[in-house]
Amino acid sequence: MTGMPIRVLVVDDHTLFRRGLTALLDGDARFVVVGEAGDAGEAQRRAASLQPDVILLDNHLPGVNGVDALAGLREVAPQARVLMLTVSEDERDLAAALRGGAQGYLLKTADSDLLASAIERAVRGESTISPEMTGKLVTAFQTLQTGGEAAAPAADADPIHSLSPREQEILAHIARGASNKEIARALDIAETTVKIHVQHILRKLNLSSRVQAAVYAAARAG
């Protein structure tokens, strides 16, 4: 980003909530709402034509749930980051969102500062999960594991052992929700170095996002 406002697509079937959220974001110079949608089909069409930076996606949509629409949205707008914004505190919905590649999971009770921060973090490739949901990360990760192709590996085959000491250190910071900049400052290394380490961590653990890395670490710590 070079000073340009972050382009947001708002997807929610409740018109009053959608318009209120649009007004809130449009009142902040950091953001511009480029479009709205009330269902998954409309969201996919709007995402394809508008190519937003961030999609705020409700889960309870008519016809197709938000988590089920993730794959289609990511296909038509591959550069867009998707943030779930929902009332659901069900760890199964959280797990489905993580599996589908959502960049974060926010409850609609989130305050405006948390929402704004989450949108900015999403553009940087960082993740945010509502504090109320962090206690359910381990359960969500276990759901991801059981929904995968194989059971959890034996301890000596656990890919976490393939991480270097520095990568394990960075993984611990990711699990605490630290950004690349915060990790770089804490470890006194360059932010670009942190980014490279994160890429290596995700590849070695066969994960696709920082959120999955965080729940992976939390599951092993718990």
As a whole number, mean pLDDT of residues 86-107 equals 86
Helices (H) and strands (E) in the chain, counts: 10, 6
Do 167 and 144 contact (CB within 8 A), yes or no?
A: no
The gap from C-alpha 94 to its chain's centroid, in whole angstroms, comes to 10
Which is more confidently placed, 208 or 189? 189
Q: Is pLDDT of 199 > 50?
A: yes
Exposed / middle / buried, residue 123 (Cβ in 10 Å: 0-12, 13-18, 19+)? middle
The token pair at 177 is 């929700």
The token pair at 83 is 């943030």
* Residue 19 CB neighbour total at 10 angstroms: 14
CATH number at 153-221: 1.10.10.10
Q: What is the DSSP letter of 2?
A: -
- Domain locations in the chain? 6-132, 153-221
Q: Please state, rounded to an integer, the average pLDDT across all residues of the chain.
A: 84
Which of 101, 105, 141, 106 has the alpha carbon at shortest distance from 222?
A: 141
As a whole number, mean pLDDT of residues 74-84 equals 93
Q: Is pLDDT of 148 > 70?
A: no
Domain 6-132, architecture per CATH: 3-Layer(aba) Sandwich (3.40)
* 3-class secondary structure per residue, 140-202: HHHHHHHCCCCCCCCHHHCHHHHCCHHHHHHHHHHHCCCCHHHHHHHHCCCHHHHHHHHHHHH
Q: Is pLDDT of 68 > 60?
A: yes
Kindly report, residue by residue over 99-124, the tens digit of the pLDDT: 888 989 999 988 899 999 999 999 98
Q: What is the pTM of this model?
A: 0.67
Q: Is pLDDT of 150 > 70?
A: no
Which of 96, 98, 118 has the alpha carbon at shortest distance from 106?
A: 118
DSSP structure string for 79-102:
T-EEEEEES---HHHHHHHHHHT-
Q: Is pLDDT of 147 > 60?
A: no
* Residue 37 CB neighbour total at 10 angstroms: 24
The top-scoring range by mean pLDDT among 3-12, 98-107, 175-184, 188-197 is 3-12
Q: 6-132 with 153-221: one CATH topology?
A: no
